Amino acid sequence: MDRERRRIAVIGAGSWGTTLANLLAEKEEGVLLWVFEEDLFRTLVEKRENDFFLPGVRLADSLRFTHSLEEALADRDTLVCALPSHVVRQVFMKARPFLKKTALIVSVTKGLEDETCQTTSQVLKEILGPGFAVEIASLSGPSFAGEVSRMIPTAVAVAGTAPRAAQEAQALFFRPYFRVYTNPDILGVELGGAIKNVMAIAAGASDGMGFGHSSRAALITRGLVEMTRLGVSMGAQRQTFFGLAGMGDLVLTCTGDLSRNRQVGLELGRGKALEEILGGMRMVAEGVRTAKALWELARRKKAEMPITGKVYEILYEGKNPREAVQELMSRLPRSEQEDTHTDSYPL
């Protein structure tokens, strides 16, 4: 594709979508950001700042905004899907009539769909069907929007349904402060981005209950084991989970104070009800919804994921976080390496 003629639309004006639209507008002309909220659209046009989700960041003069999905997609050959996972299907069903049939779609969504437990690329392929020849890439890794918007050095991974899709996305997003590595495993990259949010709720709850660094380190390490178990059982590559989209993003989200999922866990650990926590948040904490889909996926694949199970019980069955910790710590003793060399994991 001729880079001089690339026409880009970013679908979703949350903190991450706005950050990446601004990044792309640095050297791509005519980048268009689709904004769902009408009041946010007016604010962006008037102030050139997303003070809902990304306050204090002046947006590039070349970045354009639209509230019309049809306008956002008209003749666009590159789309960036920056939507919460639970609205991807709804928005792209509406978008389908306007989509260019040979577009490149880069998903930066980190979650699983509630009902189907599908990743974003799986949802998109199902919506578009054989009538479209689109290529899909997924970009994920340890990255906070507020830091990337300030050009703080960051490294991420991108995988595609074909090598060309990953390479095009790499070239599109690569900046001196935003290093992008290609990865051949789109399933692993997407699963890593989704599962780490659930583990961040667990790590936050541990901190909220006043446990120490040792407890958090144990959760991160065993969370990585769970992530790898499920991914390998689904056909993802084991090494993906030890890279940027797996371990890298897991560490960041479980330890960084800018993590929304960690903040949810912190408040749960301090005794707040989930409804109260979510009621005070404007931005989406993907791990809350993903925990339900992830637990169902683990059951289907017979993958042992005890931390995931306890997060699900805390969020959806009202289990006390301290009781959940006690149950995790009281499980039968076992060897850390007993399932290292097998793709079959006992319950």
Q: How many CB atoms lie within 10 A of CB 153?
A: 11
Statement: residue 221 has pLDDT above 80 = yes
Write the CB contacts of 273 (distance below 8 Å, at least 6 apart in sequence).
none
Tell me the pLDDT band of 1, cut-offs 50, 70 and 90.
very low
Statement: residue 344 has pLDDT above 50 = no
pLDDT value of residue 339: 60
Tell me the pLDDT band of 294, cut-offs 50, 70 and 90.
very high
Ranges 88-92, 209-213, 244-248, 332-336: which has the least confidence: 332-336
User: CATH 1.10.1040.10 in the chain, residues?
Assistant: 187-329
CATH 1.10.1040.10, domain 187-329, yes or no: yes
pLDDT value of residue 343: 43
pLDDT value of residue 48: 97
- The separation between CA 283 and the C-alpha centre of its own chain, rounded to angstroms, equals 13
Q: Percent of the chain, pLDDT > 90?
A: 93
* Catalytic residue ranges: 196
Rounded distance between C-alpha atoms, residue 255 and residue 122, angstroms: 29
Statement: residue 2 has pLDDT above 70 = no
pLDDT value of residue 337: 82
**β-strands 64-66, 32-34 pairing:** parallel
pTM of this prediction?
0.94
pLDDT value of residue 4: 53
Contact (Cβ atoms closer than 8 angstroms) between residue 292 and residue 112: no
Give the CATH fold of the 3-184 domain: Rossmann fold (3.40.50)
Query: Average per-residue pLDDT in the chain?
Result: 94
Q: How many CB atoms lie within 10 A of CB 60?
A: 16
User: CATH 3.40.50.720 in the chain, residues?
Assistant: 3-184
What angle do the packed helices 260-269 and 286-301 form, to 10 degrees? 90
Statement: residue 345 has pLDDT above 70 = no
- The separation between CA 202 and the C-alpha centre of its own chain, rounded to angstroms, equals 17
Tell me the pLDDT band of 283, cut-offs 50, 70 and 90.
confident
Q: Using DSSP, how many helices (H) and how many strands (E) does the chain show?
A: 15, 8
Q: What is the pLDDT of residues 298-338, one digit of tens each?
A: 999 999 999 999 999 999 999 999 999 999 999 999 999 86
Enter the DSSP assignment of 175: B
Question: Which is more confident, 347 or 283?
Answer: 283
What angle do the packed helices 286-301 and 306-316 form, to 10 degrees? 130
Which value, to the nearest 10 degrees, does the dihedral of the CA atoms of residues 341, 344, 346, 347 take? Answer: 130
What is the average per-residue pLDDT within 261-273?
97
Statement: residue 340 has pLDDT above 80 = no
pLDDT value of residue 341: 42
What is the average per-residue pLDDT within 237-244?
98
